[in-house]
């Protein structure tokens, strides 16, 4: 299959498809993306039940933390409606390099390879990506997933130790069967939440749902339960955290807390990633990434003994 770059050509191809052809196309895509991913050692999805809880911030910072531990890291940003990873890493405007072998992803700080729908949407920016209004939600979902698969089937990842996948909000709740169809052999999912009761409730549901689909939960990260004072660095509690109790009740590891930190907003939201490993919040991400790697290794040992 020749590398395809733009969304318009994929959409035009799809319009003429009947369902038998579509099934065939999905089969081909799945096979190709499977072979594209053979050099990837670990694949971890970052999930949240709700949008806006800091999933992308977490994905990007865990990727940087793992890369700092001398690992080859890649990020896959599969949000069609608001891909923001390239912006946060300061590589917005870069493009996939088309070669006869496939599409080479841009490389961000610390050698992180980034596959983002942002590079793919081109002049169809997330804002102008007007989804066809007359389609049923099911067909719309199929269409989106086909676009994502087509995109993934072309990316040359090469050798990667950790691929972190930033899934669109609500993916755990409405789309997990499809996740497994475009990401073969997912090693597990990390759940991100904020401490409000609502988000917790949503998390509980996503955990149970992901489990019912055999997606392993590697643990939970609580974002923004504390506030880090930008002047002195002291952290104070904003909400009473329930994360410990919830992790106990759901029998999942608690991976740690990230405070609300203005430094994160002032850097990543401006496309200038904060890379200082001695910054206390960045150090938290390092601790959490170490825990995730331990959980993954532990699971691997267990699996080998069975
Ligand atoms: N710990 C934090 N401290 C300060 N700001 C944060 C923190 N985490 C996230 N933010 C900010 O909150 C906003 C939402 O974060 P982010 O985009 O990562 O959420 P998301 O869950 O990926 O959202 P979406 O569902 O839209 O994809 C961003 O402006 C981000 O900079
Ligand atoms: Mg996001
Ligand atoms: Zn202070």
pLDDT at 209: 79
Contacting residues for 282 by C-beta, under 8 A, at least 6 apart: 61, 64, 65, 274, 275, 276
Q: Is the CB of 61 under 6 A from ligand 1?
A: no
Query: Is-contact 224 54, C-beta < 8 A?
Result: yes
Query: Dihedral sign, CA of 251, 257, 260, 261?
Result: negative
Burial of 112-144, coded b for 16+ CB within 10 Å and e otherwise, reads: bbbbbbbbbbeebeeeeeeeeeeeeeeeeebbb
pLDDT at 8: 62
pLDDT string in tens for the chain (306-residue length):
344 456 666 666 665 557 777 778 778 888 888 899 999 999 999 988 888 899 999 999 999 999 999 999 999 998 777 789 999 999 998 989 999 999 999 999 999 999 998 887 766 544 444 555 555 666 666 667 777 787 888 899 999 999 999 987 655 545 555 666 678 788 999 999 998 877 778 888 888 878 887 889 999 999 998 999 999 999 998 888 888 888 998 999 999 999 999 999 999 999 999 999 999 999 999 999 999 999 999 877 777 776
Pairing of strands 188-193, 40-47: parallel
Paired tokens of 254: 């608690």
CA 140 to chain centre: 21
Q: Is the CB of 274 under 6 A from ligand 1?
A: no
Query: Dihedral sign, CA of 170, 200, 226, 249?
Result: negative
Q: Is the CB of 54 under 6 A from ligand 1?
A: yes
Helices and strands (H and E) in the chain: how many = 12, 10
CA–CA separation, 102 and 287 (whole Å): 36
Q: Which of 49, 53, 54, 206 to mutate to test the pocket of ligand 1 (most atoms within 8 A of CB)?
A: 54
Q: Which atom of ligand 1 is nearest to the CA of 265?
A: 31
pTM of structure:
0.90
What domains can be seen in the chain, in order of their start residue?
Answer: 7-305 (3.40.50.300)
Q: Is the CB of 265 under 6 A from ligand 1?
A: yes
Name the DSSP letter for residue 5: -
CA–CA separation, 158 and 161 (whole Å): 10
Helix (H) or strand (E) holding 164: strand 160-166
Which listed ligand is nearest to 227 at the C-alpha? 1
pLDDT at 290: 97
């Amino acid at each position: 299959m020749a590398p395809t770059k733009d969304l318009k050509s994929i959409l035009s191809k799809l319009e003429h498809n009947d369902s038998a052809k579509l099934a065939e196309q999905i089969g081909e895509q799945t096979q190709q993306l499977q072979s594209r991913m053979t050099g990837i050692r670990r694949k971890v999805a970052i999930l949240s039940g709700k949008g806006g809880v800091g999933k992308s911030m977490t994905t990007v910072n865990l990727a940087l933390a793992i890369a700092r531990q001398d690992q080859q890291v890649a990020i896959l940003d599969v949000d069609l409606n608001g891909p923001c990873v390239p912006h946060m890493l300061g590589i917005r405007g870069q493009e996939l390099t088309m070669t006869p072998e496939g599409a080479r992803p841009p490389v961000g700080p610390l050698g992180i390879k980034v596959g983002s729908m942002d590079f793919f949407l081109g002049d169809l920016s997330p804002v102008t990506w007007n989804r066809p209004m007359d389609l049923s939600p099911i067909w719309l979902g199929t269409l989106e997933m086909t676009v994502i698969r087509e995109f993934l089937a072309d990316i040359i990842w090469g050798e990667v130790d950790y691929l972190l996948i930033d899934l669109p909000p609500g993916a755990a709740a409405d789309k997990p069967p499809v996740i497994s169809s475009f990401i073969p052999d997912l090693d597990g999912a990390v759940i991100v939440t904020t401490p409000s009761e609502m988000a917790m409730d949503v998390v509980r549901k996503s955990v149970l749902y992901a489990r019912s689909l055999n997606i392993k939960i590697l643990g939970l990260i609580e974002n923004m339960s504390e506030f880090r004072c930008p002047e002195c660095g002291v952290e104070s509690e904003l909400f009473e955290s329930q994360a410990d109790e919830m992790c106990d009740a759901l029998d999942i590891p608690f991976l740690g807390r990230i405070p609300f930190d203005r430094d994160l907003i002032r850097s990543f939201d401006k496309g200038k990633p904060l890379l200082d490993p001695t910054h206390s919040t960045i150090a938290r991400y390092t601790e959490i990434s170490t825990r995730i790697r331990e959980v993954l290794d532990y699971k691997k040992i267990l699996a080998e003994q069975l």
